[in-house]
Structure 1
């Protein structure tokens, strides 16, 4: 098992010092990064300044530790992809009607190919990785996938419905190798509404068991309140539930087509929760971040999936094309070309394309409606 207490890593032109299991990082100078490289190679004691920083930021006492025992050095990468989302397996044990994954098939890579994929992502410079699905924790190779991502020096976030978090083996995995965040969604305030939302009897109780187990284990929890026509009547109760159990709470009210452009999730929209969103001013997806499908296909993001790059075939070098694909995907086209409201548009072009493919009402994505 990896025993590193700290990670020193290049990240988007800077250098970070990180403690696994904690989202708070510390920027360090390039010469400090080099000093830590040398100390690790020579198996020297950690520098005094590092011990002071580790104690002040994370309460870690490392005065007597050697660098090779407690510090993992991430090598620089010429590709600069600092973040990635990896869809471990799109299969799920729940059946939510709003789900953007549509047909949730239980399929993914065998372990040898998955192991190769994670090394490719490490070599691409990925420092922060999101493991999701589907419900990633029910994947047969999730424990190995999670452990290897952690041991390669990635800061791991797990997107889960919480249904497996109370299992002893899962708790042992997540408390031994701590994620910096576990993100779950809130689908109701009562058992009746929750189970109807997921189309699975017992899902509310499974969520609560997982939530309480994670909370008691001191794991970092983030909750997303998802409001649709099925549960809008319990919105206040859902917010209260989330705020009682997590310091980080987000709210999602806009339903989108599936990533394949199917319209079914749009029917779940609660019309009274269609609010004005902030203008889309661009993003760096495809340049500094990427999405990876269950079969190792790299795309700009979860929404923009055209021209996928087969990482297992092309290796990390294939990612050199991703920035150009992203730039092309964000260009306005069709009815958006020359629109005078582009500067205040709230929807990126890849998402507009999905809405159009799903024949969505224009007011869902366009100000001209």
Structure 2
């Protein structure tokens, strides 16, 4: 009998969920409270406010999530570990049979916390890295001493041999340290990834975009770090010919905020369905209707745009920046044009 690895299994489940419109995953923001003050953060606040969900409310929602047939939960924040009840929450998720992922800055990862993660059978830990040196890291986090705490937390995770991925949000502050970050992470035998997308805050505040790289810088970084990608020709397919909202939002995934609001995604905070006065099942039906009823207006150019196969623009990006899901954002179009041009130049079928 053929055996699937975990990655292949989850890919198969996700594909089936997209077809059946049954949710396979939820991103659960446990708190907006955070011990860092990252300059690029898109959350509405760094403080844990009194009206965040209680332990009892979170556990009840996890039961509803499991009853709906959801396979996995990704706990994030803020920084999830600042909640004193994090152990109770993780254990309850485990009892519901949920596959658990955790997103963290690792600054609070002690050996006792790694023991907890092992106890609940954590499936994946996604750690953010903001720089390879103390100066750059703390320019990003705006908290003195956070670099030392991060390094210790990462060492604790490595020593515990837990399943970790370290992901770097690349900004104007830390872009010169990508290779150094990769070396730091891989020296601990941990997988390294980077992300070039910095987005508007969920409040509409565009301050984080001050730290976004230019399209030229993004393409240069990809060329340097992903050389194999540029020797291939991209697929000639256009997802815009499918659903208007064509990501997993409302198709196979959803998000829950610390205030008990159910949304399409953490970066797509609509329709703000109130779970304190409703159920996860009812909220999922509303999310599906929200996606199905979303229609483009006359400003929607994606289906006829020649660079669309290279474009990273999502409906959430357009909505956050302009309030209009149909908008074409100049930054993303320029980025796609550069990628289209670079692919054309390096296409092995191109006459020499």
Go from structure 1 to structure 2 and tell me whether the alpha carbon gap of 1:109 and 1:334 turns closer, same or farther (over 3 Å shift). Answer: farther
Residue deviations 1:136-179 (CA, integer Å, cap 9, x gap): 111122111111111110110100000111252x2221121121
Q: TM-score, normalised to structure 1's length?
A: 0.73
Question: What secondary structure sits across from 1:97 in the alignment?
Answer: coil
Closer, same or farther: CA 145–361 of 1 in aligned 2, 3 Å: same
The answer for the alignment partner of 1:327 in structure 2 is 292
Distance across 1 between alignment mates of 2:192 and 2:147: 18
Alpha-carbon shift at residue 338 of structure 1 (Å): 7.5
Give ranges in structure 1 of 5+ residues lacking alignment.
Answer: 1-16, 28-77
Distance in 2 between residues matched to 1:80 and 1:305, nearest whole Å? 20
**In structure 2, what is the equivalent of residue 81 of structure 1?**
23
More helix, by proportion: 2
Q: Does 1:222 align with 2:187?
A: no
CA-CA distance at 1:356 after TM superposition: 2.1
1:253 aligns with 2:196: yes
Greater strand share, 1 or 2? 1
**SS of aligned partner of 2:70:** coil
The number of aligned residues is 297
> What is the aligned counterpart of 1:363 among 316, 330, 334?
330
Q: Residues 118 and 289 of structure 1: is their aligned pair in 2 closer, same or farther, counting only changes over 3 Å?
A: same
Q: Which has the larger radius of gyration?
A: 1
Query: Take 1:239 and 1:333, find their aligned partners in 2: how far apart are those partners?
Result: 42
- Distance in 2, matches of 1:346 and 1:121, equals 30
Equivalent residue, structure 2, for 1:176: 119
Q: Tell me the alpha carbon deviations over residues 164-220 of structure 1, each in whole angstroms, 9 at most, x when there is no partner.
A: 11252x222112112111111111111111112110111111111111111111111
Q: Which residues in structure 2 correspond to 1:1-369 (within 5 Å)?
A: 23=6, 80-107=22-49, 108-168=52-112, 170-271=113-214, 272-275=216-219, 281=239, 282-318=246-282, 319-329=284-294, 331-333=295-297, 335-336=299-300, 340-341=304-305, 343-344=308-309, 345-357=311-323, 362-367=329-334
Distance 2:329 2:251 in 1: 30
Change (3 A) 1:338 1:158: closer
Normalised by the length of structure 2, the TM-score is 0.76
Q: Mind listing any 5+ residue stretches in structure 2 that lack a counterpart?
A: 11-19, 223-233, 240-245, 338-352
Q: Distance in 2 between matches of 1:125 and 1:285?
A: 16
What RMSD, in angstroms, separates the aligned Cα atoms of the two structures? 3.0
- Cα 1:79–1:121 change in 2 (3 A) is farther
Where relative contact order (Cα < 8 A, 6+ residues apart) is larger, the structure is 2
- Say if 1:350 and 1:197 are closer, same or farther in 2 by CA, change over 3 A: closer
List per-residue Cα deviations over 1:57-89 (Å, max 9, x = no partner).
xxxxxxxxxxxxxxxxxxxxx972111100000
Return closer, same or farther for 1:236/1:316 CA change in 2, 3 Å cut-off: closer
What whole-Å deviation, never above 9, does each CA across 1:324-352 have from its counterpart, x for those lacking one? 212334x3335225862185343122211
**CA separation of 1:199/1:228 partners in 2, compared to 1, >3 Å: closer, same or farther?**
same
Instruction: Select between 101-110 and 148-157 the one with higher mean Cα deviation.
Output: 101-110
